[in-house]
Amino acid sequence: MPWLVTMEWRDALFLHWRADAAALRAMIPPDLALDTYHDHAWVSIVAFRLAGARPRGLPPVAAIPTFNEINVRTYVRDHEKAGIWFFSLDATSRFAVRAARRGLHLPYIDARIATTWTDGRCAYQSERAWRGDASRFAAEVRFGGVARQAEIGSLDYWLAERYCFFSVDGRGRSMRGDIIHEPWPLYDATPLIHTNELLAAADIEPIVEVPLAHASPGVTTHAWPWHRAATS
């Protein structure tokens, strides 16, 4: 089946924390497995600009306007594939928020998000505007050197190279959306967290205070239609 949608994920900031596996296990559907790296569970905040999103066959002029997004996620798998489980996805596009909540049952949230990408610095600042939730986030990473691809089998690869996401449809069935992109070009980075209320809003308490951090100029991504997860 050909891919359905193409998009650009640009100016990405990755922050990763170890977290309690039992607590995370209780927060995902029972027919999905919590994915761990050397028996450790992880949660991540990933921020980026989403540009050029459009259905296959349409020209760039038909893309929805560029918007900023910050997601909170952990790592799960079905019987076939390892992927991502989202606790929240904050976005500046009201259209994207409503379309993804309705069409993919993803927990998108309206937010105001500002971003800066300069030589050696990537920063995001946000505040939610969703049903009384005003959770805030402000962080930056400093980086240098040359971007690299993560080595297969490494923790960096395990965290970054995920090619599907999972959600649950209106009938309570676990669903999967497959994607493909070139490996992320990653800069090793030093994080500075000013404000982080997003993990607490998801009832997540990380085990470590200082996250593993990366920055990336981005990737071009293709997405396939949503379908049933391989859970039996």
- Position 188 pLDDT exceeds 90: yes
pLDDT digits 0-9 by tens, 29-58: 999 999 999 999 999 999 999 999 999 988
Pairwise CA distance, residues 109 & 210, whole Å = 26
Task: Give the pLDDT band (50/70/90) at residue 67.
Answer: very high
Rounded Cα–Cα distance for residues 115 and 120 (Å): 14
Confirm if 70 and 126 have CB atoms less than 8 A apart.
Answer: yes
Q: Are 182 and 37 in contact (CB under 8 A)?
A: no
> Position 14: which residue type?
F
Spatial neighbors of 117 by CB under 8 A, at least 6 apart, are 11, 123
Summarize pLDDT for 6-32 with one digit per residue, the tens. Answer: 999 999 999 999 999 999 999 999 999
Residue 232: predicted pLDDT: 78
Fold of 5-228: Acetoacetate decarboxylase-like (2.40.400)
**pLDDT tens digits along 124-160:** 999 999 989 999 999 999 999 999 999 999 999 999 9
pTM above 0.95, yes or no: yes
Please say if the pLDDT value at position 92 is more than 70: yes
Residue 152 contacts residue 160 (beta carbons within 8 Å)? no
pLDDT at residue 1 is higher than 70: no
pLDDT value at residue 2: 77
| Residues 114-127, mean pLDDT to the nearest whole number | 97
What three-state secondary structure class fits 103? helix
Reported as half-sphere exposure (CB side, CA atoms, 13 A), residue 192 has a value of 9
Both tokens assigned to 9 = 């994920």
The stretch 76-92 carries a mean pLDDT of: 98
Structure tokens that stand for 200 in this block: 């607490």
Integer CA distances (angstroms), 144 to 11, 185, 190, 193, in order: 14, 13, 10, 18
Which of 189, 158, 163 is CA-nearest to residue 178? 163
User: How many Cα atoms sit within 13 Å of 108 on the Cβ side?
Assistant: 21
Tell which wins on pLDDT, 232 or 98. Answer: 98
Domain ranges of the chain: 5-228
Q: What does pLDDT average to over the chain? A: 96
Cα distance between residue 219 and residue 198, in whole Å: 25
